[in-house]
Amino acid sequence: MPRPDRSTPSPDTVPSAPLEGIRVIEWGEVISAPFCAKLLAELGADVIKIEAPAGDRAREIGPFPGNAPHPERSGLFLFANLGKRGVTLDTTAKAGIAQLHSLLQDADIFVENQPYAGLFDAGITEAELRRRHPHLIAVSISPYGRTGDYCEYAGYDLQVNALSGLSFGTGHTHREPLTTPGRQASYLAGLGGAFAAVVGLLARESASATGQGQYIDVSDSGIIATLLTGYHLPTFIYRGIAGYRSGNRMRLGLFPNCVLPCRDGYVCIDAPQLEQYQRFLNLLGDPDWIDNPRYRDRRAMSDRYPEEAENLIAPWFMEHDKAEILQLCLENRIPCAPVLTIDEMLETPQLRERAWFRDHDHPQAGQFRYPGEAVRLNGSPCRIVRPAPMLGQHNHEVFGTPRSASVPR
Amino acid sequence: MTPLPLRSVRVVDLGSAWAGPMAGQLLADMGAEVIKVESRARLDGMRLGRPMIPVANHGDDLAGGDRGLWPELQPVFHGLNRNKLSVTLNLRTNAGRDILTRLAAASDVVLSNFSPGVLQRLGMDYETLRAVKPDIIVAAMPAFGDAGPLRDMVAYAPIIQAMSGMMSLVGYPPEAGEPLVGELQAAWSDTVAALCAALGVVAALRRRNRTGAGQYVEAAHLEGTTALLGVPMLQYQMTGIVPAPTGNDDPEFAPHNNYPCSGEDAWVAIAVRTDAEWKALTQVIDDDALSGDLRFANPLSRWENRRSLDEIISSWTRALTPRQVMERLQSVGVAAMPVMNIADQFADPHLNARETYAEIDHPHVGAELLYGVPWRFSDTPGGIRTPAPLLGQHNRYVLNELLGIDTDELSRLSDEQVVH
């Protein structure tokens, strides 16, 4: 395809954000779709978030400053909705749905994660979206996907991690399996949805395309069941191992590959290469046990008698604190690091010195430190220009005069 | 059939192990021409070692180990590198690096997950490449970042998860008295970084298509992983309390846990959020102790009494299989799902209907199951079109057809172990 001469683009005259000029309508709740649209806002899209008059459920979830619930001070809402404008629509009313359609008329990307029944009632189905808005890239993010036996089933992050195989192996052998902490699966789904949305946009804009959008069905469980099973699948097919919980160590690995206590918390070591392991043994002062044949088979140490093996190295960790261990392992090129708690992570020189954190001030919640962009685009840096919207904050701006019953005061 | 979205995009994939190859795979699944640059002089770690695939059919072919057929029999590699082409270039030679530069100049994207500094040594960094291809997009995936005090630290996924703060949250609630779990049995941060890099690449392509400007994309594993942790960050700042593991607790729900079922290591995930869901659950369980018990009268009281609630629900689930619980509860709109291992997943009708796994013929393995494409595009679905390439399988196409190196020159380069 012919491309214009672009050897010397002028930053003054050309749009520079990747999603410059792209309007995203997000009809999302809680995490997956909101986080997806937040990532699109980081890339420069104009994102308008639609909330029911009662607001996104995330506003009730928190965390809240001083543990005092307030719909404009929910940490979850503030984080997942950075950089957007917000409007309220009653999508249970005909007028609200009509307004949604008129927003979609001018939009490029639509992101939603509504329950199946709600979508069906509102008529926001794949067929209807394609009929009325053929240009639209509609990204539907749901726990199980919009097709298949479970598509109408109820599900939250707990069920997603159960179906996708991640929970089964997480946790101690003698205890119940664990879901991912803080609903991480939903964030991963939002990230996957953002990639899919931009791919859909490239398809629409490619030289031979007709400006036609498409429907993209993203499922939280599908992302994990594919992209995180690369080991599980062949281990089952070829070795018959369906999975088990191995607590603080990676199963089927090479010792040492585990999380252990140290003087002031926990550390994680994962040193598969022989040279790394040898440097670690040197650091331990080349202990006597390394001559014992039982402690020469690193696979057996990891799989067959891990606790016994871990007890060999545990005392050294208990004699040191996190900062010492990080320094020693950095100097000796050993893949071993402290398990940072969240307050420690916020102070990490690695993240602070690179100016990655972003402070955002919100009129009702105040100023807090947020994560920076998920990926750095050096030629077109992150474009978050506003905090999360207050409920209905941009109704007037987006709809003109507030006119129908579907727009609250 | 509508052409695939990335069909006109050519990617030079210098990735190895997990994160880099997966970023390339995400682009290849959507139609990009992804050329994996590798070499017998330095194999992708995923090609190394005794293969899991039974080797009975290969007899003496395997005698060579990593120098023989082993590198072609690695199923994890096959998943991460499907839909790609392979060219073998020895980047320890000047001629190998020169050819790589020419390949980059004929491409749209150069993707890698080297340690910081390696791209510069190879002459593949953005500043160098833009001189030969002004609109090139160079995407790198350093562990901690291109700069900063941890720049050169060696790291695998668990190390990144430890430093991101995520690992500190994986475990049972403190009152359980269990040591920290920390580990997820999956390459979580590699997958996050792969998605971040792939997102950065397609975003940069969109900008290039409109402005003609290429750029450097940096998807540091630590930053990508931490970018998903905004809530615990804010929780600490807002409450002053350092977030600790919460097990399967989530304050928006009660009950909310994985409950034991009949069968070995059999569990079911049940979550109840609203009063309507709670009412439906009590009717299915049909236990007088539940519906009339004031401890469970509203969401807050259920949360406060969740441990007692867990015991009552466990005594009901223990007599049933996970699938029976799922069917009974889902029929009344309550979220329930068996906690599946990979064997359960293989047999699951929903995952199969969604093409979670796909079969492809590999020349040395035969029909092989790989994980499928995670999303379903209505018009441009993508898919697994070709198996992972054999080492150097596409040398002729890439070096001769694309770069115009004639066959005499090719055989000389091969003799000199440049193409190797």
Can you name the residues that pair with B368 across neighbouring β-strands? B360
Residues A1, A43 contacting (CB under 8 angstroms): no
pLDDT of residue A12: 45
pLDDT exceeds 50 at position B246 = yes
The C-alpha atoms of residue A14 and residue B134 are separated, in whole angstroms, by 16
* Contact criterion met (CB below 8 Å) for A94 and A102: no
| B29 labelled catalytic | no
Contact predicate B137/B217, CB 8 Å: yes
Residues of B in contact with A224 (CB under 8 A): 186
Contacts of B199 in chain A (CB under 8 A): 39, 191, 194-195, 198, 374-375
pLDDT in tens, A276-288: 999 999 999 999 9
For B196-243, the pLDDT digits (tens) are: 999 999 999 999 999 999 999 999 999 999 999 999 999 999 999 999
Average pLDDT over residues B250-264: 97
- What pLDDT does A384 receive? 87
Q: Rounded distance, CA B43 to CA A80, Å?
A: 41
ipTM for this prediction: 0.98
Average pLDDT, chain A: 93
- Beta-bridge partner residues of B33: B10
Cβ distance of A375 and B224 shorter than 8 Å: yes
Closest to A222 (Cβ–Cβ): which among B270, B333, B356? B356
Smallest CA–CA separation between A289 and chain B, in Å?
25
pLDDT-derived band at A7 (thresholds 50, 70, 90) equals very low
Could you write out the DSSP letters of every residue in A9-20? --TTTS--STTT
Residue A223 has pLDDT above 90, yes or no: yes
Characterize the bridge pairing of strands A23-27 and A109-112.
parallel
The angle, 0 to 180 degrees and rounded to 10, between the axes of the packed helices B275-285 and B306-317 is 40
Query: Of the listed B190, B249, B288, B415, which one is catalytic?
Result: B190
Distance CA B327, CA B201 (A): 42
How many CB atoms are closer than 10 A to CB A315?
Answer: 10
For residue B231, what is the nearest residue in chain A, using CA coordinates? A76
Whether residue A367 is predicted with pLDDT greater than 90 in this model: the reply is yes
What pLDDT shows up at residue B56? 61
pLDDT of res. A406:
46
Distances (CA, A) of A187 to A81, B122, B215: 12, 35, 26
Least confident of A197-211, B301-315, B357-371, B402-416: A197-211
The beta-carbon neighbor of B213 closest among A6, A154, A180 is A6
Measured between beta carbons, the chain B residues lying within 8 angstroms of A346 are: 233, 236-237
Tell me the per-residue pLDDT of A325-362, one tens digit each, with 9 for 90 and over: 999 999 999 999 999 999 999 999 999 999 999 999 99
For the cut 80, the answer to whether the pLDDT of residue A404 exceeds it is no
> For residue range B44-79, what is the model confidence (pLDDT) as tens digits?
999 998 888 876 666 655 667 888 889 999 999 999
Q: Are A39 and B199 in contact (CB under 8 A)?
A: yes
CB contact under 8 A, A380 and B215: yes
Task: Give the pLDDT of residue A405.
Answer: 42
Residue B367 backbone dihedrals phi, psi, to 5 degrees: -65, 125
Nearest Cα to Cα of residue A228 among B401, B188, B367, B211: B188
**What's A295's DSSP letter?**
G
pLDDT at B171: 98
| Residue from the list B52, B271, B374 with its beta carbon closest to the beta carbon of A223 | B374
Of A129, A83, A77, the residue nearest A104 (C-alpha) = A129
Q: Which residues of chain A does B174 touch, with a Cβ-Cβ cutoff of 8 Å?
A: none
H or E element in which residue B114 lies: none
pLDDT band at A408 (very low <50, low <70, confident <90, very high): very low
pLDDT in the model for residue B60: 57
What's this model's pTM, rounded to 2 decimal places?
0.96
- Say if CB B375 and CB B22 are below 8 A apart: no
Instruction: Judge whether A195 and B198 are in contact, CB under 8 Å.
Output: yes
Is the Cβ–Cβ distance between B342 and A165 less than 8 Å? Answer: yes
Q: For residue B107, count CB atoms less than 10 angstroms from its CB and return exposed for 0-12, middle for 13-18, buried for 19 or more.
A: buried
- Computed over every residue of chain B, the mean pLDDT equals 95
* pLDDT tens digit sequence for A69-115: 999 999 999 999 999 999 999 999 999 999 999 999 999 999 999 99
Closest residue by Cα to residue B104 from B80, B89, B124: B124
- What's the pLDDT at B50? 86
Task: Output phi, psi for A31, to 5 deg.
Answer: -120, -60
Per-residue pLDDT of A15-51, as tens digits, reads 589 999 999 999 999 999 999 999 999 999 999 999 9
Do A163 and B338 count as a contact with CB atoms less than 8 A apart? yes
pLDDT of A6 higher than 60: no
CA distance B26 to B377: 13
On the question of pLDDT at B37 being above 70, the answer is yes
* Contact of B326 with B334, CB cutoff 8 Å: no
Q: How are beta strands B366-371 and B357-362 bridged, if at all?
A: antiparallel
CA atoms within 13 A on the CB side of B273: 13
Task: Report the pLDDT value the prediction gives residue A10, as an integer from 0 to 100.
Answer: 44
